[in-house]
């Protein structure tokens, strides 16, 4: 039986250094860091090792405790942060060591006393002062231990890591019984990625808004289902580089690219009402270049049906397929992120793609069904009969095939030949949603 992984949540006001601390403890850049308050709008998760102990580290949005605020986005952020705080096994309350305590800090301290989880006060931005006694006013908040750090420079982090390890009960290990399937949900802003992410998780994990670009970080959650063990990544909307005007947008775009690199499968979300744009094609091309498994989810079918007939919807879908014809191996699915059945529909397709992504075909089958068929049909390349001598699958994830051949044509002729061989391989087997590579060795 797998042990529960303790949850450690990083909390605090906006712009106190929570995301920088999260990145340091994660030992990589996961959260977008910038001096603008409120950069982290959703919360981020990462499984990290703290002094030999596995924990689920969570970076939350900034708390301002705006009880009467009309800012709906901030209200959503705070609601989600409180949900995480109540579930956490340990809270890291980050405060700005360069500023005096405010009424928000005192109110937060009052509310934290109602939560049973232990609290470590982390005084950040104490460069060169981490070995000194903490300012007296921080003790008046009523929580200990108090650790002073500089998240930017790394000062005091060893003491913090040791303290976290001491307060976390048990020495847990993560045990994955099946293939971990990393899935990056990608697409341009405001096509419904976060709504779909929430539907797949069965809960509101990512903040959903009609404001383009609401998600700035690549969110990470794990999902253990009968279809498989998924690692879902909800990425920021992919913005054209020419339109990146702020540093925040730059890091968001970088996180999207990194998530795609880490993924096995890309779940490309398309809004058929907007039609296929250059952004959509650029993302699709990146998926193809990175050789990722791919499911194209044509979203908002409910809205489309409200304004179009079924025949018109069919034409819209055909148009999407035509515009993305260069991504010829992708699976396609039409639906709505808010549909009750969308989760099982998508997870079923993803499971099939993952299975094919890792499958290995017997060498005997490849030689009997593919190689011999090529030779029997007498393919011609540049007026010369093309022959194959041996074929086997060289690799999986993604699948790569090796053929020993007598080919000696031009580069263009080789491209046409490889495309023809790929079509035959796909015809003789089930490779939907999976890219395949073909390597020719001249004899």
For range 18-43, the mean pLDDT: 64
Tell me the per-residue pLDDT of 282-325, one tens digit each, with 9 for 90 and over.
999 999 999 999 999 999 887 776 666 777 777 888 899 999 99
pLDDT-based confidence at 181, cuts 50/70/90? confident
- pLDDT value of position 54: 82
- How many residues does this entry show for the chain? 443
Q: Where are the domains of the chain?
A: 7-167, 180-357, 363-442
Tell me the per-residue pLDDT of 325-381, one tens digit each, with 9 for 90 and over.
999 999 999 999 998 888 889 999 998 999 899 888 989 999 999 999 999 998 988
Segment of 59-63, 342-346, 399-403 carrying the highest mean pLDDT: 399-403
Stronger pLDDT, 149 or 261, i.e. the higher one? 149
Pick the CATH number of 7-167 from 3.40.50.300, 3.40.50.1860, 3.80.10.10, 3.30.1360.70: 3.40.50.300
- pLDDT value of position 122: 97
Q: Say if residues 184 and 220 touch (Cβ distance below 8 Å).
A: no
- In this model, does residue 36 exceed pLDDT 90? no
pLDDT-based confidence at 213, cuts 50/70/90? very low
- pLDDT value of position 82: 85
Q: Do domains 7-167 and 180-357 have the same CATH topology?
A: yes
Stronger pLDDT, 313 or 392, i.e. the higher one? 392
- In this model, does residue 106 exceed pLDDT 80? yes
- In this model, does residue 155 exceed pLDDT 70? yes
Stronger pLDDT, 51 or 415, i.e. the higher one? 415
| Cα angle: 179, vertex 261, 182; to 5 degrees | 25
pLDDT-based confidence at 65, cuts 50/70/90? low
What does the buried/exposed string (b/e) look like for 170-207 if buried means 16 or more CB atoms within 10 Å of the residue's CB?
A: eebeeeeeeeebbbbbbbbbbbbbbbbbbbbbeebbbb
Give every CB contact of residue 385 below 8 A, 6+ residues apart in sequence.
Answer: 378, 379
% the chain with pLDDT above 70: 81
**CATH code that applies to domain 363-442:** 3.30.300.20
Superfamily designation of domain 180-357: P-loop containing nucleotide triphosphate hydrolases (3.40.50.300)
- pLDDT value of position 250: 54
Q: Please state, in angstroms and rounded to a whole number, the distance separating the CA atoms of residues 339 and 440.
A: 46
Q: Please state, in angstroms and rounded to a whole number, the distance separating the CA atoms of residues 6 and 1.
A: 15
Least confident of 92-106, 244-258, 355-369: 244-258
CA-based nearest residue to 122, from 220, 25, 5: 25
């Amino acid at each position: 039986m797998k042990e529960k992984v303790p949850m450690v949540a990083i909390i605090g006001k906006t712009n106190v250094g929570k995301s920088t601390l999260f990145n340091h403890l994660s030992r990589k850049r996961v959260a977008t860091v910038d001096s603008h308050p409120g950069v982290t709008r959703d919360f981020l998760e990462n499984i990290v090792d703290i002094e030999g102990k596995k924990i689920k580290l969570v970076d939350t949005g900034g708390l301002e405790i705006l009880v009467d605020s009309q800012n709906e986005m901030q209200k959503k952020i705070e609601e989600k942060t409180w949900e995480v705080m109540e579930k956490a096994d340990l809270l890291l309350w980050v405060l700005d060591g360069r500023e005096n305590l405010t009424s928000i800090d005192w109110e937060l301290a009052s509310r934290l006393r109602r939560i049973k989880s232990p609290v470590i006060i982390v005084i950040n931005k104490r460069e060169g002062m981490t070995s000194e006694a903490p300012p007296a006013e921080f003790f008046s908040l009523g929580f200990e231990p108090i650790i002073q750090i500089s998240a930017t420079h790394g000062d005091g982090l060893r003491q913090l890591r040791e303290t976290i390890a001491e307060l976390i009960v048990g020495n847990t290990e993560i045990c994955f019984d099946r293939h971990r399937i990393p899935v990056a949900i990608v697409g341009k802003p405001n096509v419904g990625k976060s709504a779909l992410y929430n539907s797949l998780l069965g809960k509101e994990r990512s903040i959903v808004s009609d404001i383009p670009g609401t998600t700035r970080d690549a969110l990470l959650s794990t999902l253990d289902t009968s279809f498989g063990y998924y690692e879902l990544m909800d990425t920021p909307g992919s913005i054209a580089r020419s339109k990146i005007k702020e540093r925040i947008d730059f890091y968001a775009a970088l996180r999207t690219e990194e998530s795609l690199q880490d993924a096995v499968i890309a779940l490309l979300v398309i809004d058929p009402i907007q039609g296929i744009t250059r952004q959509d094609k650029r993302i699709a091309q990146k998926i193809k270049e990175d050789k990722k498994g791919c499911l194209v989810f044509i979203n908002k079918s409910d809205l489309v049906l409200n304004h179009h007939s079924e025949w018109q919807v069919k034409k819209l879908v055909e148009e999407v397929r035509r515009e993305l014809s260069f991504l010829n191996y992708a699976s396609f699915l039409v639906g709505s992120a808010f549909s009750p059945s969308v989760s099982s529909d998508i997870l079923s397709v993803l499971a099939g793609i993952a299975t094919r992504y890792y499958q290995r075909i017997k060498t005997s089958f490849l030689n009997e069904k593919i190689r011999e068929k090529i030779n029997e049909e007498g393919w011609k390349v540049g007026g010369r009969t093309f022959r194959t001598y041996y074929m086997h699958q060289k690799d999986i994830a993604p699948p790569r095939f090796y053929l020993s051949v007598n080919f000696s044509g031009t580069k263009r002729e080789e491209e046409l030949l490889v495309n023809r061989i790929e079509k035959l391989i796909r015809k003789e087997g089930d490779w939907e949603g999976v890219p395949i590579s073909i390597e020719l060795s001249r004899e």
